[in-house]
Amino acid sequence: MYKTLVSKIAILATIALMIPVNAFAADIPATLITSVILSVADSTPDRFEPSAGQSLATAVVFSTSASDTTGSVKVKQGSTVVETLASWTNTTVPTSITAWNGRTIDSTGEGICGAAGAVCPNGNYTVEVAISAPFGSDTLVDTETANFTIFTTPAVEISSLASPATFNPITETGDISFSLSATGFITVDILDGGTVIRTLVSNQSLSAGTHNKTDVSALAWNGKNDSNNIVDNKAYTVRVRSKTTAEGSFVDTKTTIITVAAPSTLVLTTFTATTTSGDATFDPAPLAGNEDLTINYTFNKAPNTFTGEIISPENVIVDTFSTAAITGENIWDGLHQNKLVAPGAYTVKITASVTGESAITQTKTITIAYPDERKGDITNITATPESFDPDLEDTTIRFVNTEDTNLTVEIVNADNAVIRSFENFSNQNFDADTNNTTSWNGRNSSTSVVGTGIYKAVFIARNDYGAVKREKNITVIDIGTTIPTSNAHISGISFSPSSTFEPADDDELEIKFDVLTDLDSLKIFAVKGTEKITLFDENDIEEEDNLVEVWDGTDGGDEDDHVMDGTWRIRFESAVGGTTLFAEKTIAVKYIKPEISDLILSKNKFDNEENEFTSIMFRVDEEANVQVQILKNGEAEEDLVEDMQVEADIWYSVDWDGGGFDYEDNIDVKLVAENIINANIFDSQKVSADLAEDKVTGERSNILNDFIAPAVTDGTVEMDLHYFIDEEADVVVTIHRGESASGGTVTELVDLKNVDSGDHDILWNGKDDSGRKLAKGIYSYKIVATRSGTDTEKGVFIVGDTGSDTSGSSSSSNDDDGAQQSGTVNPNVIINGERQSDDSGTDTVSDSAYCAGFTDLSAGFQNCDAIEFVKERGIFTGNADGSFRPFSPINRAEILKVILEALDINVVSTVVGNLGFIDVIPGEWYMKYIKAALDAGIFQGDAGKNTARPESPVNRAEALKMLFETLRETNGYVIRDCSFTYGDTPQSAWYHKYVCESKNYGLFDVTGDAFGPASYASRMEMAELFYRLEQAGLL
């Protein structure tokens, strides 16, 4: 259709001055309708079949948005109007047109279609769209039409539909049969109400005649739904529908009822408990077997109640799981209360029931064993005495742990219930070959004396290689004798402090008593178990009140060691003539256990071959004696600090240069904080240190020997930030909150151009941009040197209570005058011994720069370090327009590319064909990465669909799985698991262990307790992920 509208506006305006307004009003053809498109679901307009329930949809696109149009949309046969679909007057055009079912008609259509509600006869019809709109004194008009045909498919009738009224799906099938009048395409569905729960036959071509399970096996229904679960006991509808052609509409439908009647007793049809390795024993130790236990179960129908439990040999429930589904899976990591469970035979127990029935219970036994010898052992166990009366004495328990382990000691009764735990042995870390001692006073955790009988001291040692459990029997007896608190010789025994004596704080225990008569002799002892310390031994004591003796808590030996903690008895033994009497009173001796509040390295990774070092920064919540050890492969190799006395809640720093150790050594820094008078009361922590070569690739300027001194400051002294660069570069130095140098920027110290190679010092007064002293906290510095690429170094320092004055290092000047540097210098700093001034003419504001050269990222972009890293490594190259698009979701093709590039997996240059995927473009850039991923066994595409979906976004959980599975396949990486990750990551989820690994390395930043496994992973997040993997040493 082509219409021409010619308007001589200037001429008409002139004529309009001379002729009445309506003299030349006319209808002017115009293009007001762009298109008229008809459509029929599952068919075409030339095969519109109202008798099969089809509808004719009309889509009209108008080219006018005027508000005063008039028009209509009508169905016509010839010139006769059959049905008016839409009409409007002096308004905007309609946005949609009512679909026509071939039955509703205007009165003018009765001559063609008969009474309303009847299907209009077969034949050719037209949809006519007419519209008009005022145009000055004229009217613009347009009319368009579209043709369609009403069609009726010859019927394929269904008859003799039959099925059993009721069947038992456990032992029977529901057999369906029917007859057809002609060959047709048949669909058979099972419906629950109006919902299809199982399709038995889908659009299958069947000939005329009778059909049943003999020729169509699917007509024997097993009572299961599309999820392969047996359905509930109830009546269901069998629906059989026929079509003449495969693409056509259904022409006949028949239904019948079939009832499922499964056995009334709930049946647990499958129940397995298997380890990751498939072995008979389960080893969940993270650095040994690192296994999970997978429990799978299936019922014949959904239970109303369900409980799953894993029970220890002592009948303690260590894990639970539950589901209301017919089938389920639970994965257990071998942890209870975040600790490895002890070895032994554990029971997996499932209890379930349906309403009105007795519960069913089944169990499986799984043996937990830790074969790795590095788990160590507990040896030399003694209890002295092994049989004791709590009214008279305590028993002293001694043992040795052969490896560096966490130790737990508990007393259990005959029912294996824990009745007493020990504060100093509640999963604390102890060095290998430690001689450990504690005592039990025969009381439970409520301080009540336990009943007589046999009890067990249970010892559990845990480390990353496994757990060891040992036991020692101890008998509590009652000999029927008690020692009174007073007698005819001694009374009024009291203590100061009255009930608890802390030798470190109280200095002495003051013992007051009255002597009621003259004594031939008096002895006073401190007694605990077999240990008996003489405090007083004199003859000829006269009667006297308010006598005082003191005890400093030592054992009276040559070394004056302090006694162990616990309940001690101050016992009086007095004699007059031939009569000896005893009196005693108990006192609790206690030592405060210091807790290590913080242990931080200024640099977790440094190059000791380049004379770099780290500062070991720490604080303890109580006064303590501190030891700092360097461990190699878990064994103490160097005592860096011994018996360093520290105050409570004060920050301290010790430097270590890694001397004598190699890059390949596995190094830990261990801090031990001991009670100031009793070394047996202590806390310990470890932090890993990575000795690694500091080198750069390409034309970057390498930053070496960076540090800040002092590393711990109260914020009132100047600090020296030192660094060395091996090539001239632009240098930016910033201060950040937190340890990672990725927190908020506190201040920018310098932004300099053309900084010479060599050593440089920035003397900083420790103030922010507002001239204020930094608040207490953990801070970090970041040095970025830019040449053709960038190198970044970071370090941590502390602002806090230091207990004494701290002083900064003296600054040194760089002797190399070299090229003149320019840029921006913070007024709070001095560079290389000289204060820089913006008035000197040498300082200019640095030009704005892009992060890693990407045009949509500024140099100050918060994740710039990570993006520069991935670009430098060739992991990300950006887009053709020079942008990075940090917040765009990464797709499947892109993530394959960056994972393969990051792990240096070989990628072929040429790929022929589509590799069997129907949705890829041969020759496209991603084909070589898909090929490499297929070859490496880390990518298979969508099962059964022959699709790769290269442009589909990837969520966080999928991204982590692809990453860690690639590490596992290519590098043998062991994927661990943990008992807790985030609130939105259940332990039973397939992605739990991958999110656990992510949490271990801090790969994703999260909000609160939500990981967001279904959230799309952005390109920026993936760049940061690889950057953090590299910092963790996995790249």
Task: Quick: pLDDT tens for 570-608.
Answer: 999 999 998 999 999 999 999 988 999 999 999 999 998
Residues 6+ apart with CB under 8 A from 839: none
Query: Mean pLDDT highest for which of 169-173, 697-701, 750-754, 939-943?
Result: 750-754
Q: Phi first, then psi: what are they for 696, rounded to 5°?
A: -125, 160
CATH of 158-260, one of 1.10.10.10, 2.160.10.10, 3.20.20.450, 2.60.40.4070: 2.60.40.4070
Angle at which helix 927-936 crosses helix 956-971, to 10 degrees, equals: 60
Distance, CA of 827 to CA of 362 (rounded, Å): 75
What is the distance between the terminal CA atoms of the chain, rounded to a whole angstrom? 66
The CATH number of 268-368 is: 2.60.40.4070
CATH 2.60.40.4070 maps onto the chain at: 158-260, 268-368, 490-589, 703-847
The tokens describing 161, both together, are: 């539909």
Q: CB of 462 within 8 A of CB of 589?
A: no
Task: Quick: pLDDT tens for 891-911.
Answer: 889 999 999 989 888 888 788
- pLDDT of 833 reads 44
> Average pLDDT for residues 429-448, to the nearest whole number?
89
Distances (CA, A) of 757 to 276, 314, 724, 725: 54, 67, 7, 5
CB atoms within 10 A of CB 472: 19
CATH of 490-589, one of 3.40.50.20, 3.30.565.10, 2.60.40.4070, 3.40.50.12160: 2.60.40.4070
HSE-CB of 991 using CA atoms within 13 angstroms: 19
In this prediction, what percent of the chain has a pLDDT beyond 90? 50
CATH 2.60.40.2550 maps onto the chain at: 374-476
Evaluate if residue 569 carries a pLDDT over 70. Answer: yes
Pairing of strands 579-589, 500-501: parallel
CA torsion 626-627-633-637 (nearest 10°) is: 170
In this prediction, what percent of the chain has a pLDDT beyond 70? 90
User: Given this structure, which CATH class describes domain 596-691?
Assistant: mainly beta
Whether residue 121 is preceded by a cis peptide bond, meaning omega within 30 degrees of 0, is: no
Distance, CA of 705 to CA of 610 (rounded, Å): 7
Distance, CA of 313 to CA of 454 (rounded, Å): 19
Give counts: helices (H), strands (E), the chain.
9, 61
Q: Which residue has the tokens 């009764």?
A: 413
Annotate 250-275 with b (16+ C-beta within 10 A) or e (fewer): bbbebeeebebbbeeebeeeeeebbb
Task: Quick: pLDDT tens for 451-500.
Answer: 999 999 999 999 999 999 999 999 999 988 789 999 999 999 999 999 99
Task: Quick: pLDDT tens for 728-784.
Answer: 999 999 999 998 877 778 999 999 999 988 878 787 889 988 888 999 999 999 999
Residues 6+ apart with CB under 8 A from 628: 616, 639, 640, 641, 644, 654, 669, 670, 671, 672
Q: Higher confidence at residue 155 or residue 335?
A: 335
> Average pLDDT for residues 411-428, to the nearest whole number?
91
Distances (CA, A) of 535 to 91, 582, 1020: 110, 15, 71
Which residues is 362 bridged to in the sheet? Answer: 350
Q: H or E stretch including 997?
A: helix 992-1001
Distance, CA of 58 to CA of 53 (rounded, Å): 16
CATH of 703-847, one of 2.130.10.10, 2.60.40.4070, 3.40.50.300, 3.50.50.60: 2.60.40.4070
HSE-CB of 281 using CA atoms within 13 angstroms: 10
Q: How confident is the model at residue 1 (pLDDT cuts 50, 70, 90)?
A: very low
Task: Quick: pLDDT tens for 794-852.
Answer: 999 999 998 643 333 333 333 333 334 556 677 777 675 444 544 433 343 333 467 88
Identity at 724, one-letter amino acid code: F
E-assigned strand segments in 710-818: 712-713, 719-725, 729-737, 745-755, 758-764, 777-786, 790-799
- pLDDT of 157 reads 64
Q: How confident is the model at residue 1012 (pLDDT cuts 50, 70, 90)?
A: low
- pLDDT of 653 reads 82
CA angle 258, 263, 269 (to 5 degrees): 115
| Average pLDDT value for the chain | 86
Smallest CA-to-CA distance from 717 within 785, 824, 799, 634 is with 799
Evaluate if residue 357 carries a pLDDT over 70. Answer: no
Query: Mean pLDDT highest for which of 277-291, 797-811, 992-1006?
Result: 277-291
Pairing of strands 166-167, 250-260: parallel
Q: Higher confidence at residue 634 or residue 148?
A: 148
Smallest CA-to-CA distance from 973 within 994, 949, 951 is with 994
The length of the chain is 1035
Annotate 606-632 with b (16+ C-beta within 10 A) or e (fewer): bbbeeebbbbbbbbbbbbbbbbbbbbe
CATH architecture of the domain with residue range 374-476: Sandwich (2.60)
Distance, CA of 896 to CA of 902 (rounded, Å): 10
- pLDDT of 705 reads 84
Q: CB of 257 within 8 A of CB of 236?
A: yes
Evaluate if residue 138 carries a pLDDT over 70. Answer: yes
Pairing of strands 344-353, 667-674: unpaired
Task: Quick: pLDDT tens for 27-73.
Answer: 889 899 999 999 999 889 998 989 888 999 999 999 998 999 999 99
Identity at 465, one-letter amino acid code: Y
Any idea which of 135-149, 566-580, 1002-1016 has the lowest mean pLDDT?
A: 1002-1016
pTM of the complete model: 0.49
